[in-house]
């Protein structure tokens, strides 16, 4: 009798990807991050979607605004350390009443090994909220998809900026020597 193959446990990105598809998000802008790898691989493999690798995170504000002006839906996926690069550029989608949906994997929180990450990790939410971005922090794996869906609906239905902040507790803390 052949042994049954163990079922691969679902990753939170499977559910987020499903929510992205159901909301017709066709472009994802990113500076790749380890916590986003599985989601970005799904986007890259889908012929109906486009993955745009940015030079710097604030370029994503122009892409999502341009996509909205052209009748398409886009989002930005980035690590929290890139949020600081975006603060000034977040005025662009706001000025044009374009939605700006961000999925942010957090650093500088749970078990952070790199002291360089702590300051920005602690500043992400207050900085985003100070420039009018609605923040949706999530620290439980089983709440990521529904939180993403709610943030996406709010952003696209109200033409606002919204950020889902996925806790480092969910993503996991890295240590020196880890990739």
Tens-digit pLDDT profile for residues 72-108: 999 999 988 899 899 999 999 999 999 999 999 886 5
Token couple for 138: 């999530």
Domain containing 18 — which CATH number?
Answer: 3.40.50.970
The pLDDT value given to residue 115:
63
The pLDDT value given to residue 123:
77
Q: Give yes or no for residue 54 having a pLDDT over 90.
A: yes
Residue 64 lies in a domain: yes
The pLDDT value given to residue 86:
92
**Sign of the Cα pseudo-torsion (132, 23, 140, 85, in order):** negative
Domain residue limits at 167: 12-171
Torsion of CA 31, 40, 34, 57, to 10 degrees: 20
The pLDDT value given to residue 35:
86
**Sign of the Cα pseudo-torsion (50, 51, 56, 61, in order):** positive
Residue 5 lies in a domain: no
Number of domains in the chain: 1
Residue 1 lies in a domain: no
- Among residues 16, 44, 19, which one has the least CA distance to residue 29? 44
Distance CA 109, CA 18 (A): 27
Distance CA 6, CA 23 (A): 32
Q: Is residue 79 within 8 Å of 104, Cβ to Cβ?
A: yes
Give 23-45 pLDDT, tens digit per residue: 999 999 999 888 899 999 999 99
Half-sphere exposure of 134 (CA within 13 A, CB side): 17
- Among residues 178, 174, 155, 163, which one has the least CA distance to residue 67? 155
Residue 153 lies in a domain: yes
Residue 59 lies in a domain: yes
- Under DSSP, the state recorded for 97 is T
- Under DSSP, the state recorded for 79 is E
Residue 6 lies in a domain: no
The pLDDT value given to residue 8:
57
């Amino acid at each position: 009798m052949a042994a049954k193959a163990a079922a691969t446990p679902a990753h939170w990105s499977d559910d987020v990807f499903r929510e992205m598809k159901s909301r017709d998000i066709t472009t994802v802008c990113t500076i790749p991050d380890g916590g986003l790898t599985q989601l970005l691989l799904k986007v890259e493999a889908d012929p109906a979607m486009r993955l745009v690798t940015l030079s710097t995170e604030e370029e994503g504000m122009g892409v999502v605004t341009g996509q909205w002006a052209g009748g398409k839906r886009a989002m930005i996926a980035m690590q929290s350390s890139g949020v600081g690069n975006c603060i000034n550029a977040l005025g662009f989608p706001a000025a044009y009443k374009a939605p700006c949906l961000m999925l942010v994997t957090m650093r500088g929180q749970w078990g952070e090994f790199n002291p360089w990450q702590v300051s920005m990790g602690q500043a992400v939410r207050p900085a985003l909220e100070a420039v009018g971005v609605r923040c949706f922090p999530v620290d439980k794996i089983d709440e990521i998809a529904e939180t993403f869906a709610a943030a996406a609906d709010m952003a696209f239905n109200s033409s606002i900026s919204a950020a889902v902040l996925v806790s480092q507790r969910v993503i996991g803390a890295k240590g020196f020597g880890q990739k």
